[in-house]
Amino acid sequence: MLIKDEVIERIKSGEITILFRRWKKPGVKTGGTQMTQGGVIGIDAVEILKEDEITDLDAREAGYPSLDMLLSGLSYRDDPIYRIRVHFAGADPRIALRENAELGDSELEDVIAKLEQLDRNSKRDPWTQQYLQLIQDMPNTHSGLLADYLGISIPEFKPWVRKLKALGLTESLYPGYKLSPRGEKVLDALRQKGER
The pLDDT tens digits of the residues spanning 50-88 come to 999 999 999 999 999 999 999 998 877 889 999 999 999
* pLDDT for position 101: 72
**Bridge partners (DSSP) listed for residue 49:** 81
Q: Does domain 5-91 have CATH number 2.30.130.30?
A: yes
Spatial contact of 159 and 165, defined as CB atoms under 8 Å apart: no
Query: CATH top-level class for 94-195?
Result: mainly alpha
The pLDDT value recorded for residue 54 is: 96
Q: What is the pTM of this model?
A: 0.63
The residues near 162 (Cβ < 8 Å, ≥ 6 apart) are none
CATH 1.10.10, the chain: domain bounds? 94-195
Q: Is there a contact between 70 and 59 (Cβ–Cβ < 8 Å)?
A: yes
Which amino acid is it at 82? Y
pLDDT for the residue 196: 56
Domain limits, CATH 2.30.130.30, in the chain: 5-91
Mean pLDDT by 10 residues, the chain (196 residues): 92 96 92 90 96 95 95 87 95 73 85 93 88 95 94 92 91 90 92 76
